[in-house]
Amino acid sequence: YYIINGPSFKSIINQYTELTGRPTMLPLYAFGYWQSRCFFNNFADIQHTVDRLKADGLPLDVLVIDSDWSNSGMDFKWNKDFLSGRTAADWIAWLHASGVHVMLSTKGPMIRKDADIYPEALSKGLFATDGHGHTLTAGYYGGQLLDFTHSGIEAWLATQLKPLSAI
């Protein structure tokens, strides 16, 4: 146990972070403007949004690509129709050249049964169950809820995400 005594709140925080470690400063862009919306229809829609913000003189530091970029129920693979005839690498390079950082969002911690990776995840027992072996369906998007307490989930997700992070 540790007891940290004032005399002020600022002093307590200083002593506490000296003991536990001080956080590093986030990159400057993390404090900038993040553009997000529920759905972009495709990359042409994203391009229009980025061009419009730039034309209007508005800052854009991070673009959140939400939901419909993936094939099916969060399979961690790009939907070809979403790419508007180019590769994901081309689009991401264009965004970076425009000074925009990119964050891919998912439909939640789930995978739908029609995703090609579903059988593998099921065979590895990576879905949460109801205690009777039945997988749990994750609300609005209708996928099976991943079990983040499973010892193999981190390695399996890293394998799925690696091709995306290589772009």
Chain segment 6-16, per-residue pLDDT in tens: 899 999 999 99
pLDDT band at residue 67, thresholds of 50, 70 and 90?
Answer: confident
Strands 101-104 and 62-65: parallel
Could you tell me which residues come within 8 angstroms of residue 32 by beta carbon, excluding any fewer than 6 positions away? Answer: 59, 60, 61, 62
pTM greater than the 0.85 cutoff = no
Percent of residues, the chain, with pLDDT higher than 90? 71
pLDDT band at residue 51, thresholds of 50, 70 and 90?
Answer: very high
Percent of residues, the chain, with pLDDT higher than 70? 99
Q: Which residue has the higher pLDDT, 96 or 72?
A: 96
Chain segment 128-155, per-residue pLDDT in tens: 999 999 999 987 778 999 999 999 999 9
pLDDT given at position 167: 81
pLDDT given at position 66: 84
Q: Is the pLDDT confidence value at 4 over 90? A: yes
Provide the edge-to-edge strand list for the sheet that holds 34-35: 34-35, 62-65, 101-104
Across 22-45, b (16+ Cβ under 10 Å) vs e yields eeeeeeeeeeeeebeeeebebbee
pLDDT band at residue 164, thresholds of 50, 70 and 90?
Answer: confident
Q: Could you tell me the two tokens for 141?
A: 């998007």
103 bridge partner residues: 64
Collapsed DSSP state (helix, strand, coil) of residue 44: helix
pLDDT band at residue 38, thresholds of 50, 70 and 90?
Answer: confident
Sign of the CA dihedral with 82 first, then 48, 165, and 37 last: negative
